[in-house]
Structure 1
Amino acid sequence: MFLNDVIDQLVNIERCLKKDKTLFIRIDINSPIVNGKIVDDFRIRAHAFTLRLVSDAGARAVVLAHQGRPGQDDFT
């Protein structure tokens, strides 16, 4: 099997966007936090596009995310 064959079999979000379908989406929002405040929200904003696609299609999103690494001050 060639790499292109594997890539073609991957799930593309556009294939999943159906009205009343529920999608489980894992996002990476690790953002720098200083004094308890997010100082760069680029990653959070970047995921807004995907979540808007889901919403506009009439689907629902269950979002799984975490912030930081266990044992660090910014872990949530």
Structure 2
Amino acid sequence: MKQIICIAAITLLAAAAPARSQTLVDPNKVAPEYREAAEKRRAEQLRQRECALKADLDKVLPRDRTAYLNHCLDGPVAKP
């Protein structure tokens, strides 16, 4: 009985889909009237990813990561 429970637990863990991050918005796949908003959202997503990458490179501890990301995102916005 114990073996069956172990096998069932392993099967459940193996079958569970991994969590995925939010994909980048593609402004070309959005209706024309929403394209401007999609471009703004994509720019914000890129800023968030850049700050997260900086946090990884600076080896920020998990307990300090939120403060680090907030400080990074509150910084000056780079214009392309």
Band of TM-score, shorter chain:
under 0.3
* Greater share of helix: 2
The higher relative CO (CA closer than 8 Å, separation ≥ 6) is in 1
State the TM-score, normalizing by the size of structure 1: 0.26
* Greater share of strand: 1
Structure number with larger C-alpha Rg: 2
